[in-house]
Amino acid sequence: MENTGKKMLESAHEIIKKTAKSLGLSSEVITRLIEPDFIHEFNFSVGKKIYKGWRIQHNNTLGPYKGGIRFHPNVNRDEVQALATLMSVKCAVAGLPMGGGKGGVIVNPKELSEKELEELSRAYARAISLFIGPYVDVPAPDVNTNPKIMAWMAEEYEKNLKSQNSGLKSNEVLATFSGKPVEKGGSLGRTEATGRGGVYVLQALLAKLRSKINPPAGGQKSKPTVAVQGFGNVGYYFAKFSEDMGFKVVSLSDSKGAIYVTEGLSVETTLKCKKEKGSVAGCYCRGSVCDVRFGKPISNDALLELPVDVLVPAALENVINAQNMAKIKAKIIIEMANGPITEEAYEYLTEKGVIIVPDVLANSGGVTVSYLEWYQNIHNEKWTEAAVNKRLKEMIEKAFESIWKKSVAKRISLKQSAFEVAIERITKLSTA
């Protein structure tokens, strides 16, 4: 895992350098795009335990640093830096007036009691409170952090501010963290936003490719098939909304394994079954009927190799790599996890004609609604869920359109196009 962070950082630097060079940017500008503004690395104590944490602020040309905080035993500086860099790109791609940042703590939160988790979250918030703020840096949830943790952090931040007489109004204090519980100033629709945004992107893509996915011959058009790896917040909502929108979800997985139901499965029934059985691998469901005749358990690796129209890695980094890239059969891949396809596999699959929607666009629904939460806090507004979803749809479709257009015009991949759009915006080459 130590290497994964390093590899991720190298890949991010490589594509930024390549893109910036193709845009004719000077080496000084490229260096500023690569090097983060601030790397905060610190140690903090919770009782007798000492933890190492980071908040890395990559670039704030477009607005306050923005990005999640992850709690994971394998977090390391390179990984946090890579993710902060990708947040700068993601916010620019999404058209947000925000820059990029990311935080992390080396910890396995699954080994902590609720009380210990709260103490850790509060101690981390105290440590970063010196360099965050509504117009400076706005953290959010990421891997293993959630609205409850954001509420603890926001409260701790507020306490800390009081002792400093900051002059910030209470709504501005609220705006310092996004992804908060709705009753503590969070936005309706934030929890579902990443999955929902991914489905909006898929719909926009299919509208461009209609003929490739639905074979015109044979009268009745078949529903596009979808396989989703990962059944956490992002994977679950992606699967649920794609099913609602008429896609046929044929395979789902969690860390323990996957199920494959060729006739299509019910996402809700699978969730209920997972809650009862502890994993999706034990579920064979169609509609409300769970029966072994309808499906079969497969491995997470086998899910990636299914003959589906749309493959959605929504779990871990680097799951599609040199080892399995030749076996991937999907025509479209939507990167809902951060960095699920290695650089080598990305090039190989793109060359083969697979259309890959990069993470910086596909999963940008989360940070987009984080921005809407920030906006509501700053302006003392409370939007309905329908209003949030409508704005998310407009914003993500606009982001998709500009990346699609450039990709077609320049005959480059969507990823290359996304990085070009982002770098142009960050370096203010373009105001589009």
Q: Which residues does the annotation mark as catalytic? A: 102
* Of 367, 395, 421, 422, the one binding ligand GLU by CB under 6 A: 367
Q: Can you tell me the distance from the alpha carbon of 171 to that of 116, in angstroms, rounded to the nearest whole number?
A: 28
Closest approach, Cβ 208 to ligand GLU, in A, equals 24
The binder of ligand GLU chosen from 84, 140, 312, 362 (CB under 6 A): 140
Q: Is 137 in the site for ligand GLU (CB under 6 A)?
A: no
Considering beta carbons, is residue 179 or 198 the nearer one to ligand GLU? 179
Stretch that binds ligand GLU, among 25-33, 64-72, 126-134, 375-383 (CB under 6 A): 64-72
Which one of 59, 253, 270, 370 is in contact with ligand GLU (CB under 6 A)?
370
Query: Using CB atoms, what's the residue nearest to ligand GLU?
Result: 68
Q: Per-residue string for binding with ligand GLU, 345-364, x by CB under 6 A?
A: ------------------x-
Size of the site for ligand GLU (CB under 6 A): 13
Contacts of residue 3, defined as CB under 8 A and 6 or more positions apart, other chains included, come to none
Counting beta carbons within 10 angstroms of the beta carbon of residue 91, is it exposed (0 to 12), middle (13 to 18) or buried (19 or more)?
buried
Contact with ligand GLU (CB under 6 A) among 36, 53, 64, 68: 68
Distance in angstroms (rounded) separating the CA atoms of residues 117 and 124? 11
Distance, CA of 116 to CA of 284 (rounded, Å): 38
Tokens of 176: 């310092």
Q: How many residues in the chain?
A: 432
Query: Could you give the string, one character per residue 80-109, with x where binding to ligand GLU holds by CB under 6 A and - elsewhere?
Result: ----------x-------------------
Supply the minimum distance, in Å, between the C-beta of residue 355 and ligand GLU: 22
CB of 140 to ligand GLU, least distance (A): 3
* Residue 147 found at the interface with ligand GLU (CB under 6 A): no
Q: Minimum distance between the CB of residue 246 and ligand GLU, rounded to whole angstroms? A: 27
Which of 69/249 has CB closer to ligand GLU? 69
Cβ proximity to ligand GLU, 140 vs 312, nearer residue: 140
Between 85 and 229, whose beta carbon lies closer to ligand GLU?
Answer: 85
Residues ≥6 apart with Cβ < 8 Å to 177: 138, 139, 140, 150, 153, 154, 157
CB of 123 to ligand GLU, least distance (A): 21
Q: Does 366 bind ligand GLU (CB under 6 A)?
A: yes
Q: Of 202 and 361, which CB lies nearer to ligand GLU in the complex structure? A: 361
CB of 371 to ligand GLU, least distance (A): 8
The answer to whether 339 contacts ligand GLU (rule: CB under 6 A) is no
149 contributes a contact to ligand GLU by CB under 6 A: no
Minimum distance of ligand GLU from residue 13's CB (angstroms): 18
The set of residues, in sequence order, having a beta carbon less than 8 Å from that of 290 and lying 6+ positions away, is 269, 273, 283, 284
Name residue, tokens 């169609």. Answer: 286
Measured from the CB of residue 176, what is the shortest distance to ligand GLU in angstroms? 12
Residue number with CB closer to ligand GLU (142 or 420): 142
Considering only residues 178 to 197 of the shown chain, the ones binding ligand GLU according to CB under 6 A are: 178-179
Site for ligand GLU in 252-281 (CB under 6 A): none
Residue 67 in the binding site for ligand GLU (CB under 6 A)? yes
Task: Verify binding: residue 313, ligand GLU, rule CB under 6 A.
Answer: no
List of residues contacting ligand GLU (CB under 6 A): 66-68, 90, 140, 142, 178-179, 338, 363, 366-367, 370
